[in-house]
Structure 1
Amino acid sequence: MSPAVRASRARAQLTLKEPPASVGARPGGTIARLDLQFNPATLQLQKTTEWRRSPSRMAGQSALPEFVGSGPRTLSLEVFLDATATHDNSVEQAVEKLMKACVPTPASLGRKKPASPWVRFEWGTARTTSFDGVLSSLSVTYTLFDVDGKPLRATCALSIEEASVDPPGQNPTSGARTARSTHTVVAGDSLALLAWREYGDATAWRVIAEANDIDDPMALVPGTELVVPGLRDAGGEEER
């Protein structure tokens, strides 16, 4: 059997997993798995970057753009469901599996941290389109019904947004929460949001405020460079 024939038999699938119990943890056990009847005809992979450019006083010149950060990958695809030749004789069961990815899991509700399942799309050995993420949108269009109104065919358009599992506060240079780093303030920033990104704890914003002599945590000026200390550098908290 040729490699081309073997590759053509690889079936795409969607797996729903229990969301992580804590920041930086990996997703839990499998909640549901949907083996796609038909491999997608197209896959759209999108990733964005954000740049900031200060206005230039010279009409014929433009300031150099400053890299702010990159957004998560987003995978968009269409799933075609056809129950006319199956014993279920309905696509509702498959649609219900996809709908589970849009609501909090019972386990997360029990922890009082509501979170929807994490989703992974896999198709053979493809790597760029296989990552853990959350369902950011789902649209179902029913296209065929039986005499009782039971849906027999459906096209499901969905988008999966990448969800990182890197530990909170990890510095790319040292990999430790004790490292000092800097952050340039952009519009919409707050100390609580920065503390969450760096330490996984929004209430630790005072550590950053004290390191930068900030009296009003709500008055952050875009373009200001902040020192972000590790928790041990601040002398107030121990690494957990």
Structure 2
Amino acid sequence: MERVAFLIEDTGERLGCLLNPETILLRRQAGIQSRQCGGGLVTGSELADDPLFFSGGGHTDLTLDLLFDVSLAGSSVSSEDVRDLTGPLWDLAENRRQDTYGKPPLCRFVWGKSWNFPGVVSAVAERLESFTALGVPRRSWLRLRLLRALDPVVQPYQPVPAGELMSVVPSGGPRQTMMHEVVGGAAAQGGERMDQLAYRYYGDTALGPGLAAANNIDDPMHLPAGHLLEIPPLSVLLERWDAL
């Protein structure tokens, strides 16, 4: 079963990986610059270091080393060319995946309850190996770099009409355990996702993996339509999550 996935926010498209990442490198660059004046950098004969200007912001990036091999069983794509597996990730850095306003597609890296990282692909590199006699590569070592982007509001709070199975509460979570009936199906076909439900009931998409764990959901990207989920109070949710 695919446990590592890249989810395209705008389309709901799901790009799965059969293997865990070989390595993950997380880096943070603070919003610090050398102070400048109208004529350029601030200078002085007695300065030991450049005066610093704290601009705020900065950026956080995540670098993943992924392995793809067409000889592995279980992939949803059957091909002799490994580039058919890595192509969708490569395309995230291509201009054709951007919308009319020059906005790159927001991609969410999801791995169990430990990682839920929203970002845009800023760089990709691929080392191809195990070529056939015709030069077709069968194995790929792919390095992907994601720049963290602001986590969008994936599903605004909307009250549910009276008579529905449950009532929706604002952020902070319900005061007692509630039940939610899953609408739709797989996220790629427009079905509900755990991060959406976590925002709907708790006001925080990062609680999606915890909500999945509390309901013993192994694959939070494929929720069966009609399945009943428990929506516990926030304190109970965190206790169950920590106990796993």
- TM-score normalised by L of structure 2: 0.50
Could you give the per-residue CA deviations for residues 175-233 of structure 1, whole angstroms, max 9, x where no partner exists?
xxxxxxxxxxxxxxxxxxxxxxxxxxxxxxxxxxxxxxxxxxxxxxxxxxxxxxxxxxx
Q: CA deviation at 1:41?
A: 2.4
1:83 and 2:70 aligned: yes
Could you give the per-residue CA deviations for residues 41-68 of structure 1, whole angstroms, max 9, x where no partner exists?
2211111111445757573766874422
Match of 1:161 in 2: 147
Match of 2:102 in 1: 114
* Letter matched to residue 90 of structure 1: D
Alignment gaps of 5+ in structure 2: 37-41, 154-244
1:14 and 2:2 aligned: no
Could you give the per-residue CA deviations for residues 13-57 of structure 1, whole angstroms, max 9, x where no partner exists?
22223xxxxxxxxxx2323x2221211122111111114457575
| Partner secondary structure for residue 59 of structure 2 | coil
| CA RMSD after TM alignment | 3.0
Q: CA deviation at 1:165?
A: 5.0
1-structure distance, mates of 2:2, 2:98: 33
Match of 1:30 in 2: 12
Change (3 A) 1:60 1:29: closer
Q: CA deviation at 1:120?
A: 1.3
2:28 corresponds to which of 41, 44, 47: 47
Match of 1:145 in 2: 131
| Partner secondary structure for residue 113 of structure 1 | coil
2:54 corresponds to which of 50, 57, 67: 67
Change (3 A) 1:56 1:79: same
* Letter matched to residue 12 of structure 1: V
How many residue pairs get aligned? The number is 143
Change (3 A) 1:59 1:136: same
* Letter matched to residue 85 of structure 1: L
The structure with more radius of gyration: 1
1:100 and 2:84 aligned: no
- TM-score normalised by L of structure 1: 0.50
Alignment gaps of 5+ in structure 1: 1-8, 18-27, 168-240
Q: Percent identity?
A: 22
* Letter matched to residue 30 of structure 1: G
Q: Which of the pair is proportionally richer in strand?
A: 2
